[in-house]
Amino acid sequence: MNIAENINKIKSEIPASVTLVAVSKTKPNADIMEAYNSGFSVFGENRVQELIDKRPQLPSDISWHMIGHLQTNKVKYIAGFVEMIHAVDSLKLVNTIDKEASKYNRVINILLQFHIAREETKYGFNIEEVNEILSDELLCNLKHVRICGVMGMATFTDDTSLIRSEFRYLKGCFDSLKNGIFNDKSYFTEVSMGMSGDYLIAIEEGSTIIRVGSSIFGERNFCEKK
Ligand SMILES: *Cc1c(COP(=O)(O)O)cnc(C)c1O
């Protein structure tokens, strides 16, 4: 199977309303071009350095999603072009994105990352923290950031019932925000969850954006930096 076929197979399995982000981290630009030449243009990277190294060699109409943990001091390198930042996990990061996007007169779509997995190491908010930091005043003052929804990563496990329960929990967090502070915000629509091993479960549980790498581009090297 080649890359274009892998993308078409996944697209045939998912509703047209679900956005597929092809996670190209660690993969060469030739692989990205193979997907691009088949008509696909939404890619995700998890490291700023890799993204800014690759991008100048690639078509400018690619829609780039930053999916990995993002340090505030690196926002400036991607603020001029990034379509969506998935893993926003602090108020400081929200404010930094707003400031850096303002320099380009852009609005950047962001998602709030929730900690939904059993693993201690994964970043993210819980719902109490989010309710604490968000206020109508904050949302009103963010001129260059649009908080479009939530994102999470399930536990790395074969236990599909655990994965499903974590996705259901994340959808519950989304619903409670949608019914709360975001109730009048029509742009608050996205639930980014589901990767190669679990995107079908994620969609059953309400995912609107799936982030798929290895099922499209093949396995990554073990020396991958996290
Ligand atoms: C690498 C990565 C993915 C894709 O993982 P696959 O299992 O290869 O599909 C999705 N989301 C994030 C945040 C990632 O870092």
Span 25-83, pLDDT tens digits: 999 999 999 999 999 999 999 999 999 999 999 999 999 999 999 999 999 999 999 99
Q: Residue 100 domain-assigned?
A: yes
pLDDT score for 120: 75
Q: Residue 91 domain-assigned?
A: yes
**Whether residue 183 has pLDDT greater than 50:** yes
**Whether residue 1 has pLDDT greater than 90:** no
pLDDT score for 221: 75
* Closest approach atom of ligand 1 to CA 217: 8
From 6, 47, 51, 67, mutation site for ligand 1 pocket: most ligand atoms within 8 A of C-beta: 67
* Closest approach atom of ligand 1 to CA 195: 9
Helix (H) or strand (E) holding 77: helix 75-78
Q: Residue 23 domain-assigned?
A: yes
Residue nearest to atom 7 of ligand 1 (CA): 196
pLDDT, average across residues 164-171 = 98
pTM of the model: 0.96
Q: Residue 143 domain-assigned?
A: yes
pLDDT score for 122: 61
212/210 Cα distance (integer angstroms): 6
Q: Residue 107 domain-assigned?
A: yes
CATH number at residue 80: 3.20.20.10
Q: Which domain holds residue 188?
A: 3-217
pLDDT score for 59: 98
Query: Residue 40 in 3-state DSSP?
Result: coil
Q: What is the pLDDT of residues 212-226, one digit of tens each?
A: 999 999 998 755 544
Tally of domains in the chain: 1
Q: Residue 71 domain-assigned?
A: yes
pLDDT score for 223: 56
Q: Residue 139 domain-assigned?
A: yes
* Closest approach atom of ligand 1 to CA 46: 15
Q: Which residues sit with their C-beta closer than 6 Å to ligand 1? A: 23, 25, 46, 67-68, 153, 195-197, 211-215
Query: How distant, in Å, are the alpha carbons of 135, 181, 186 from that of 130?
Result: 9, 10, 19
Helix (H) or strand (E) holding 160: helix 160-178
Q: Residue 224 domain-assigned?
A: no
pLDDT score for 226: 45
